[in-house]
Amino acid sequence: MAAQPPICDFGWPAPEFALPGIDGRTYRLSDVRGPNGTLVMFLSNHCPYVKAVADRIVRDCVELARHGVAAVGIMSNDVENYPADSPENMKLFAQRHGYPFPYVYDESQAVARAYDAVCTPDFFGFNADLKLQYRGRLDASRRDVAPPGARRELFEAMLQVARTGEGPKDQIPSMGCSIKWKETV
């Protein structure tokens, strides 16, 4: 089922985390923080919305890194019911798409809850002080890739954040597959 996150809560502080990466390292927010901004992305392997834009995410993250914006991908789905999102498959997906950022596993789903993540992809763009400035979409893509020449909304917003510390006031929320929460007893 498609889900849509709320509007950006400007100035909201980034919650800390310590999560295992697909490379065997543990990553904390301080490890993935960029000097001019940090992009925290909730992603998955099986979601058609993520599959449609994975290569565009890579393109934008590579270019944003040149402007001092670092990124991390977090996978928080229930892998028991969605085995395509398992850590082994995370490795394969990241390799296939050439992820230039750490891809980490939120097994307890505590980080997704702390960020109030709603869907995959869900983008949280923070400034150098780790204050939220962007909670919008990558571009006009949905389950299918947007046409060539589509406005690069996430890229433009994070470039503005890197330069000014502030994100655009007008943002269109991302849309994607809902986070696959574990059943609670």
37-42 vs 132-134, strand pairing mode: unpaired
Say yes or no to pLDDT of 45 above 80. Answer: yes
Question: Per the domain annotation, does 58 fall within a domain?
Answer: yes
Q: Residue 20 is encoded by which pair of tokens?
A: 């295992």
Residue 185 has pLDDT above 60, yes or no: no
184 inside domain: no
| Assigned domain for 31 exists | yes
The partner residues of 28 in beta bridges, in order of sequence, read: 18
pTM: 0.96
Q: What is the CATH number of the domain that holds 142?
A: 3.40.30.10
Write down the pLDDT at residue 1: 59
Q: Which tens digits make up the pLDDT trace of 54-104?
A: 999 999 999 999 999 999 999 999 999 999 999 999 999 999 999 999 999
Question: Residues 30, 154: contact at Cβ < 8 Å?
Answer: no
Q: What one-letter code names the amino acid at 16?
A: E
Tokens representing residue 164 in the block: 């000014």
pLDDT in tens, 122-174: 999 999 999 999 999 999 998 888 888 899 999 999 999 999 999 999 999 99
> Residue 71: beta bridge partners?
39
Q: Tell me, yes or no, whether 183 lies in a domain.
A: no
The token pair that represents 29 in the structure block = 């927010």
Name the amino acid, one letter, at 37.
Answer: G
- Please give the tally of structural domains in the chain: 1
> 47: domain range?
2-178
